[in-house]
Chain A
Amino acid sequence: DAKTTQPPSMDCAEGRAANLPCNHSTISGNEYVYWYRQIHSQGPQYIIHGLKNNETNEMASLIITEDRKSSTLILPHATLRDTAVYYCIVRVASNSGYALNFGKGTSLLVTP
């Protein structure tokens, strides 16, 4: 299984861009990179996913390196409500499908 490595914690000032890195050096060609976040006591919230190309939606941008061994999630203008644990997940094949295997994630603290 392709595993991911994320820093355990990061800080970001409100209004600034938050750049969350993720290493996935053993990723296979058909595996997607997914990002979820989890605010305390709530279920994980889908943010974005990508295969090879960079992606952008209303929540964030995902930058994937050309060799696909790492990626960065960018929250362009962080707010206090973005304080959460962010999970970078490589979606790998389970016994009969593609489940999500969560690691420990990055705890992002957005400060005033």
Chain B
Amino acid sequence: EAEVAQSPRYKITEKSQAVAFWCDPISGHATLYWYRQILGQGPELLVQFQDESVVDDSQLPKDRFSAERLKGVDSTLKIQPAELGDSAMYLCASGWGPNSGNTIYFGEGSWLTVV
């Protein structure tokens, strides 16, 4: 069964350093999402891509977060500089398209600890 691949699985970084997460969606999936999940809460959408275009980044803290999907396939989420409050799990998800009936599948997530 095809899966959404994410790396690294775990990352510890010092405050003010840069950190990046990578996601490879299920082959053929045009829509890609990045979510952030703080311990004890549900995932929150950060950014949504349709192919290589950002279609919703209203919840992305743009002063320190950036996301790209240059060729419309894999994607990178970057944080610079990292702050203590960024400690969370970062989830990538993908789907065939943006329509309501298309199922979204999640990766295993990348755990970030900022010290």
Which residues of chain A have a CB within 8 Å of any CB of chain B? 30-32, 34, 36, 41-46, 49, 51, 87, 91, 93-105
Contacts and interface: CB of A to CB of B under 8 A. Distances in A.
Contacts of B103: 34, 46, 49
A95 B83 CA distance: 28
A2 B12 CA distance: 37
A94 B106 CA distance: 18
Given A46-B103, A46-B105, A96 B50 contact: yes
Contacts of B55: 94-97
Binding site secondary structure of chain A: loop
B25 interface: no
Contacts of A100: 33, 43, 45, 93, 104
Given A43-B93, A100-B43, 17 more contacts: A42-B108, A43-B4, A44-B91, A44-B106, A49-B101, A94-B48, A95-B55, A95-B58, A96-B98, A97-B50, A97-B97, A98-B102, A99-B33, A99-B48, A102-B42, A103-B42, A105-B42
A100 B111 CA distance: 21
B108 A98 contact: no
Contacts of A46: 103-106
A30 B106 contact: no
B44 interface: yes
Contacts of A103: 42
Interface string B79-107: 00000000001010100011111111111
B98 A98 contact: yes
Q: Which 3 A-B pairs have the closest CB atoms?
A: A97-B98, A102-B42, A96-B55
B75 interface: no
Contacts of A94: 45, 48, 55-56
Nearest to B103: A46
A3 to B, nearest CB: 12
Contacts of A102: 42-44
